[in-house]
């Protein structure tokens, strides 16, 4: 009799686990419409070719550089490991995670997030961390990122965090229960609309302009890790004026780079040389570039990079050609779709904040 | 046998229902933080309206009337709007949380708007020390007073106050 109980108990246990698994798959946010930024980090693991150039950072990289342009103009295979409000410790662990999969020749890190001295927001943490593959880098990233109200176990079992999302479920949660659509183009988030930059408030005076210990520690770790792996680390500040990038911050970034033997490039004063016209090349009044601006910036930056570093032109290599041909087709199709929506409705309706989850 | 299995399954489902019902109070896509921070003795008064950091901006904006300038910017991934209200020489910045806007900082930009304790842009370092006592910390270019959820900073150049900011600990 006892012997017959075990299979039944096992069956029930597996059934319960199955239900919990399905519930978790259903309840975790899918980030497929509107706020798609939570899908970005996981998309990287679908990549089928290696990259010679990796960008790491927040929206100042994933909205401002077009990898398709870098491919079309220079044959550079690149990827942006970006996420919304990506903090320096998250950038470090994403770098560590990336270098487990491949060894690029160059890593470009955008320094804007150095202004954050401590964990900020659970919503942004989730968008960066949930998509990471489990491993030591993800565990350490969670521990470094958690705000005081967060719990590690909720990252381990997201059902514990999202169990009360029943009332918020949409068609997207069912449609993308097991598979998600790509939302980026090699990590680039595309917007084709235009909202001219008009002006920004005066910068706030700060009592202390010194970057915090935590971000500088992780920046140092990024430099060490790149050195150890033979990867050239380049620090940049994207050509975006707001949030304000203080001269004092710029000086610290430059001093760190000089001390570490790295290149630091502040792109704000180079906007004219790049050809950026902020009355046409931004979709949100100057906070981020639109696709036209991102293509201009990528074209300029690729040229600047090749003057300094010998990156291979992968065009003509069948494996790369196949992958990038596919990416370019998807990129062009989305660009045309966005232009068509703008033409028809005067604004984007299926992308960005206007998009409504199905 | 079947009854026992069904009982276990029912137990698990009950647990699931319980889990679903015990909302954590966090917005699934939101921050989850609540405005429970301690108040501070450092509060700025503008035209008789007390403006404290981490206060709900909506009633303040109503009481203060039309700002002389207003700017808003969308945060990354649509987590709300960062707003900047300018009332003459006073700039109030807000941060979004759970569908509301809260005061992130108050900055005094000219000598027409003193603090409640009478310090204004252009006052000297000694006047600040006389009004506020010893600072929580100080550097060559700033005196900082921390109380509760607010840091009041006087930024100095050649011992003269050139900037005054009330900043939330949420910053």
In a domain, residue A8? The reply is no
Domain hosting residue B60, numbered range: 44-168
At residue A87, the 3 state secondary structure works out as coil
CATH code for position B61: 3.40.33.10
Count up the domains in chain B and report the number: 1
> Is B24 within 8 Å of A85 when comparing Cβ atoms?
no
Count up the domains in chain A and report the number: 1
> Is A163 within 8 Å of B77 when comparing Cβ atoms?
no
CATH code for position A190: 3.40.50.1110
In a domain, residue A3? The reply is no
In a domain, residue B162? The reply is yes
Instruction: State percent of chain A over pLDDT 70.
Output: 98
Closest approach of A314 to chain B, Cα-based (Å) = 33
| pLDDT band, residue B4 (cuts 50/70/90) | low
Which run of H or E residues covers position B90?
Answer: strand B90-97
Which run of H or E residues covers position A266?
Answer: strand A263-266
CB-based contact, A58 to chain B, within 8 Å: yes
In a domain, residue B159? The reply is yes
Closest approach of B134 to chain A, Cα-based (Å) = 16
CA-based diameter of chain B, in Å? Answer: 86
In a domain, residue B99? The reply is yes
> Is A34 within 8 Å of B9 when comparing Cβ atoms?
no
In a domain, residue B109? The reply is yes
Angle, vertex CA A114, rays to CA A113 and CA A115, nearest 5: 85
Mean per-residue pLDDT for B43-67?
94
CB-based contact, A37 to chain B, within 8 Å: yes
- Residue A296 reports pLDDT greater than 60: yes
Q: Write the pLDDT tens digit of every residue in A241-284.
A: 999 999 999 999 999 999 999 999 999 999 999 999 999 999 99
Closest approach of A37 to chain B, Cα-based (Å) = 6
Please provide the DSSP assignment of B34-91 as one string.
-S-PPP-S--EEETTEEE-TT-BHHHHHHHH-S-SEEEEEEPGGG--EEEEEEETTEE
In a domain, residue B69? The reply is yes
> Is B28 within 8 Å of A164 when comparing Cβ atoms?
yes
| pLDDT band, residue B34 (cuts 50/70/90) | very low
Domain hosting residue A96, numbered range: 31-196+209-354
- Residue B35 reports pLDDT greater than 50: no
Using a CB-CB cut-off of 8 Å, the residues of chain B touching A9 are: 5, 8
Closest approach of A162 to chain B, Cα-based (Å) = 6
> Is B12 within 8 Å of A4 when comparing Cβ atoms?
no
Using a CB-CB cut-off of 8 Å, the residues of chain B touching A202 are: 91, 109
| pLDDT band, residue A6 (cuts 50/70/90) | confident
């Amino acid at each position: 009799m006892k012997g017959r109980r075990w299979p039944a108990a096992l069956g029930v246990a597996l059934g319960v686990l199955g239900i919990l698994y399905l519930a978790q798959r259903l309840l975790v946010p899918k980030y497929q419409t509107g706020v798609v930024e939570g899908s970005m980090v996981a998309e990287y693991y679908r990549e089928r070719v290696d990259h010679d150039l990796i960008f790491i950072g927040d929206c100042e990289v994933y909205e401002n550089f077009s990898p398709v342009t870098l491919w079309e103009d220079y044959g550079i295979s690149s990827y942006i490991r970006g996420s919304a409000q990506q903090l320096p410790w998250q950038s470090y662990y994403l770098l560590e995670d990336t270098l487990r999969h491949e060894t690029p020749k160059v890593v470009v890190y955008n320094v804007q997030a150095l202004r954050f001295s401590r964990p900020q927001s659970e919503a942004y943490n989730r968008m960066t961390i949930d998509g990471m593959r489990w491993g030591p880098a993800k565990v350490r990233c969670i521990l470094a990122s958690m705000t005081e109200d967060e719990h590690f176990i909720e990252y381990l079992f997201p059902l514990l965090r999202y169990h009360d999302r029943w009332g918020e479920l949409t068609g997207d949660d069912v449609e993308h229960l097991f598979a998600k659509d790509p939302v980026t183009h090699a990590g680039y988030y595309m917007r084709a609309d235009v909202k001219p930059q008009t002006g920004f408030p005066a910068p706030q005076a700060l009592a202390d302009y010194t970057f915090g210990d935590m971000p500088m520690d992780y920046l140092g770790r990024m430099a060490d890790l790149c050195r150890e792996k033979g990867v050239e680390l380049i620090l940049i500040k994207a050509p975006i004026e707001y949030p304000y990038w203080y001269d004092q911050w710029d000086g610290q970034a430059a001093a760190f780079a000089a001390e570490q033997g790295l290149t630091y490039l502040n792109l704000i004063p180079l906007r004219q040389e790049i050809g950026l016209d902020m009355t046409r090349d931004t979709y949100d009044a100057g906070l981020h570039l639109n696709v036209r601006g991102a293509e201009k910036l990528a074209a300029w930056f690729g040229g600047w990079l090749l003057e300094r570093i010998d990156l291979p032109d992968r065009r003509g290599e069948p494996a790369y050609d196949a992958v990038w041909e596919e990416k370019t087709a998807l990129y062009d199709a989305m660009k045309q779709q966005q232009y068509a929506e703008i033409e028809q409705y005067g604004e984007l309706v299926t992308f960005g904040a206007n998009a409504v989850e199905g | 046998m079947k009854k026992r299995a069904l009982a276990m399954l029912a137990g698990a489902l009950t647990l699931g229902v319980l889990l679903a019902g015990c909302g954590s109070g966090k917005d699934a896509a939101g921050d989850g933080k609540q405005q429970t921070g301690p108040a501070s003795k450092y509060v700025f008064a503008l035209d008789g309206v007390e403006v404290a950091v981490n206060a709900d901006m909506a009633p303040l904006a109503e009481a203060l009337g039309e700002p002389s300038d207003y700017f808003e910017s969308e945060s990354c991934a649509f987590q709300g709007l960062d707003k900047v209200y300018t009332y003459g020489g006073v700039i109030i910045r807000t941060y979004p949380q759970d569908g509301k806007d809260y005061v992130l900082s108050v900055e005094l930009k000219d000598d027409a708007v003193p603090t409640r304790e009478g310090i204004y842009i252009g006052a000297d370092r000694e006047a600040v020390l006389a009004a506020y006592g010893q600072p929580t910390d100080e550097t060559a270019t700033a005196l900082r007073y921390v109380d509760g959820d607010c840091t009041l900073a006087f930024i100095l150049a050649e011992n003269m106050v050139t900037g005054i900011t009330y900043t939330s600990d949420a910053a």
